[in-house]
Amino acid sequence: MAVRNILNKRDETLHKVCKPVISFNERLHTLLDDMKETLAKAQGVGLAAPQVGVLRRVVIIDTYDGTGVHELINPEITWRSEETQRVQEGCLSCPGEWGYTIRPQKVKFRAQTRDGDWYEEEAEGLYAQAVCHELDHLDGILFLEKVVEFIDPEEEE
């Protein structure tokens, strides 16, 4: 495993749409393991493959709630609740920038495991927020485009 460099918002890679994963092999497993190590070192909640320079539909999320690191390969949201949450967000690719976004309170998604098996899951609260944030990365969208109010990093609601 290795810690990978996290790209800055100015890098063009972060503004491109990622391609699906079609090979579930050792290379993918290494990417996932490296992303876990990178996320842990950066102390973030989520990390998408384009943030480490790989244009594939791969996301990892750790909400530090005891459920461990979630691996989402080729994820797609299948349902969003009408109920929303106004949440504070930041991004490892946008250090020092914070803002409030409006995200669904709950989402359902389907994704594949590192071995290619499909699964479905429901997420709510912080996990739902992270799923939406990270899946935006896969489509070349940064959270800055979703901010309804920018805030000073020292502020708290």
Using one digit for the tens of pLDDT, what is the confidence trace for 54-86? 999 999 999 999 999 999 999 999 999 999 999
Catalytic residue among 12, 26, 122, 134: 134
134 is catalytic: yes
- Which residues face 76 on adjacent strands? 110
Dist CA 39 CA 43 (whole Å):
6
Q: What is the pTM of this model?
A: 0.95
Domains plus CATH for the chain? 12-151 (3.90.45.10)
As given in the structure block, the two tokens for residue 23 are 């090979």
**Upper half-sphere CA count for residue 19 (Cβ side, 13 Å):** 6
Instruction: Give the model confidence (pLDDT) of 75-130 as tens digits.
Output: 999 999 999 999 999 999 999 999 999 999 999 999 999 999 999 999 999 999 99
Q: Where are the beta strands (DSSP E) in the chain?
A: 46-48, 58-61, 70-80, 84-89, 98-104, 106-112, 118-124, 149-151
Pairing of strands 58-61, 70-80: antiparallel
